[in-house]
């Protein structure tokens, strides 16, 4: 009984936790390796410059050989040039699976029995199509240089006594490339 009491006491005993100090105004902003960033302020004006440093309450850019400081409360969004090629690969792979299923389903088998089953050929057709279209998707995505959002100011939810869903409310899906 005393062993279990000791385990419970150690489990629920208060302890201290030490961590690095995180900038309070920039939750989710990863700063290493940011040569050029695009900052949109609260008025909607976009400024591009070279990233210099971030403090808990401001962001500093080098714009036309002059340091420009943005207060955290006035920044709406921060983006960097370029995006991941992963979405192009995924879109291409999905198209490749669809096209591969069609091609594997309607193609004749190689060899003396064109109407046969040939599962290895059909699986190979599906895999080849998936890989080929994924490569095409990566190529197209590499040609279209996009932006990656690094920080977006959280939007305060309006306080309302109305229920979350009302008659006539629609759900909207938005896809970003």
Domains and CATH numbers, the chain: 36-81 (2.30.30.100), 86-143 (no CATH)
Cα 100 → chain centroid: 28
| Helix H or strand E segment including 131 | helix 119-143
pLDDT in tens, the chain (177 residues): 577 666 655 566 665 544 444 445 555 565 555 678 889 988 889 998 888 888 888 888 888 889 989 888 888 898 888 878 898 999 999 999 999 999 988 888 888 877 777 888 889 999 999 999 999 999 998 898 888 888 888 776 666 555 555 555 666 666 676
Extended strands (E) in the chain: 36-41, 46-55, 58-63, 66-71, 75-81, 147-152
Cα 76 → chain centroid: 18
Q: What is the pLDDT of residue 132?
A: 96
Instruction: Tell me if the pTM is above 0.95.
Output: no
| Helix H or strand E segment including 121 | helix 119-143
Helix-helix angle 119-143:86-106, to 10 degrees: 150
Rounded to an integer, what distance in angstroms lies between the CA atom of residue 167 and that of residue 156? 24
Rounded to an integer, what distance in angstroms lies between the CA atom of residue 89 and that of residue 122? 22
Cα 120 → chain centroid: 36
Q: What is the pLDDT of residue 163?
A: 54
| pLDDT tens-digit readout, 104-121 | 888 888 888 777 778 888
């Amino acid at each position: 009984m005393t062993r279990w009491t000791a385990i419970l006491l150690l489990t629920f005993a208060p302890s201290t936790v030490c961590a690095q100090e995180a900038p309070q105004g920039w939750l989710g902003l990863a700063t290493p390796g940011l040569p050029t960033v695009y900052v949109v302020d609260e008025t909607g004006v976009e400024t591009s410059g070279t990233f210099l440093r971030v403090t808990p309450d401001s962001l500093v850019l080098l714009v036309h050989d002059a340091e420009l400081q943005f207060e955290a409360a006035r920044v709406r969004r921060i983006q960097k040039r370029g995006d991941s090629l992963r979405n192009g690969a995924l879109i291409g792979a999905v198209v490749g699976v669809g096209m591969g299923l069609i091609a594997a389903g309607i193609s004749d088998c190689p060899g003396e029995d064109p109407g046969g089953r040939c599962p290895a050929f059909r699986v190979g057709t599906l895999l080849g199509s998936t890989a080929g279209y994924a490569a095409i998707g990566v190529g197209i995505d590499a040609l279209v240089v996009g932006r990656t959002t690094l920080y977006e100011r959280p939007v305060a939810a309006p306080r309302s006594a109305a229920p979350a869903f009302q008659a006539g409310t629609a759900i909207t899906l938005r896809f970003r490339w």
